[in-house]
Copies of this chain bind each other. A is one copy, B any other.
């Protein structure tokens, strides 16, 4: 069975601390959040690596959601991350990172994945992102990144962006990548690199779209209780690309991205995202319609 979209990303064992509680050694990583969110709209296939210390049964819920897992290698010890959010809940402070098997990860795209028309290159070493691009020719590639690669691997990162259709990153990354404090300018510089669309994620402030479908400002879903923002950006990305893959409307896809991310933020790790129902998603989507009406 071929996936509709392939998601390259991490599988992590996360230890999280926020002002509202803690979670010790729970499943995390960009490919986990993204594929769980994507499963509501299309069939995602995960491309990642996990360690022998992460039990298969931890991923069983994804299988039940129709997520394909044959692109997951198992080797060595699992990637581990521990982070803390303080009062303002805006940025995580990384307490500890153990790359482990992620350090040696050389993805091999399974044959069945090669038919997928959509590819989400979640934040990862740009050289690894490029190696996946070499193995596959999807119709639409979306790339995410982070400050570390902007600072240390600028050249391969720009090359990977040029080979992509959609650039998705947060506001701080956009400013740093294009060396301007102005997000509109940053987006225009990204479009000059050849991508069709740029999505800038701004956490609680929502997200912006530039390019192909014009300028769109997507509100953040107004949450009174944010327990843990870990994985919100990857949730957004997974939901966005899977919805876009099926329906071809970037604006609607972003709103679904915002809705799914709002559920992720309500629980620790993936606990809330695991349980959310299609009905809950549609209820919030309808609310979002009203949030922008004037």
Contacts and interface: CB of A to CB of B under 8 A. Distances in A.
Contacts of A128: none
Contacts of A291: 215-217
A208 interface: yes
Contacts of A185: 224
Nearest to A206: B217
Interface in A164-205: 175, 181-185, 188, 202, 204-205
A152 interface: no
A214 B290 contact: yes
A87 B251 contact: no
A216 B184 contact: no
Contacts of A76: none
Contact of A294 (B183, B206, B252, B290): B252
Interface string A124-144: 000000000000000000000
A28 interface: no
Interface residues of A, number: 38
A220 interface: yes
Contacts of A87: 181
A104 interface: no
A223 B217 CA distance: 13
A12 interface: no
A36 interface: no
Contact of A216 (B88, B217, B251, B294): B294
A293 interface: yes
21 contacts: A89-B182, A182-B223, A184-B224, A188-B224, A202-B205, A205-B206, A208-B222, A214-B290, A215-B291, A216-B292, A216-B293, A217-B219, A217-B220, A217-B222, A217-B292, A219-B292, A251-B293, A254-B294, A289-B294, A292-B292, A292-B294
Given A206-B206, A292-B293, 8 more contacts: A88-B175, A182-B223, A182-B226, A205-B205, A208-B222, A214-B290, A216-B293, A255-B294
Interface of A: 87-89, 175, 181-185, 188, 202, 204-206, 208, 214-220, 222-226, 249, 251-252, 254-255, 289-294
